[in-house]
Amino acid sequence: MAAIRPNENDCFVVVDLQVDFMPGGALAVPGGDAVVPLVNGLLPRFAHVVATQDWHPPGHFSFASAQPGRAPFETVQAPYGAQTLWPDHCVQGTPGAAFHRDFRLDRAELILRKGYHPGIDSYSAFYENDRRTPTGLSGYLRERGFRRLFFAGLATDFCVRWSVEDARHEGFEAYVIEEACRAIDLAGSLAEARRAMQAVGAGSLAVADLAA
């Protein structure tokens, strides 16, 4: 395919490049740190950048520690549907919630925090997991005139996937830069995520597909 040249109507959305998702973190994504230099290398190709940040209060509903007798990666039923339970991670104000120290955060025009409602988890950059409570990102992007969104970050099969699906539902063109993402891959969740993103019409790109 011909290389895509990002323009003023495009936005690069960098998902959750935080310490707790890196090797050694509380909810480490395998190879998560390999994404950081790839993202940094992509930043100069985009005029506009948004970064998301998981930002949970202590004792968040999605933490296994908040559910007596439950263990991380089990599934429980929340009022809004099935919820995977996670190790405590990205707790507000803790070192694990900080962005990776090498991530060029200075390029971000907006840092969008999500997951701060105590009783609702939030994978997507657009909606909490009830799929009704908005983060406000869609309105921000529309008001600024962005039409195409390019996604990278962590993790492919959760926060990236849900963000991409919601971007399409909100009427944006959406592309996943797969080289610049990594997955948790719980019981085939990566393959499922790829199918789901393709089903909503999202594109899949390599770094080389974006013109420098």
Catalytic annotation, residues: 16, 114, 159
Separation of alpha carbons 50 and 114, rounded Å: 13
What is the identity of the amino acid at 162?
A: W
Separation of alpha carbons 112 and 171, rounded Å: 19
What is the identity of the amino acid at 70?
A: R
Separation of alpha carbons 193 and 44, rounded Å: 28
Answer whether 33's CB lies under 8 Å from 100's CB.
Answer: yes
Separation of alpha carbons 76 and 147, rounded Å: 36
Answer whether 136's CB lies under 8 Å from 168's CB.
Answer: no
Separation of alpha carbons 42 and 10, rounded Å: 13
Q: CA of 197: how far to CAs of 12, 51, 52, 175, in Å? A: 17, 20, 19, 9
Separation of alpha carbons 20 and 98, rounded Å: 8
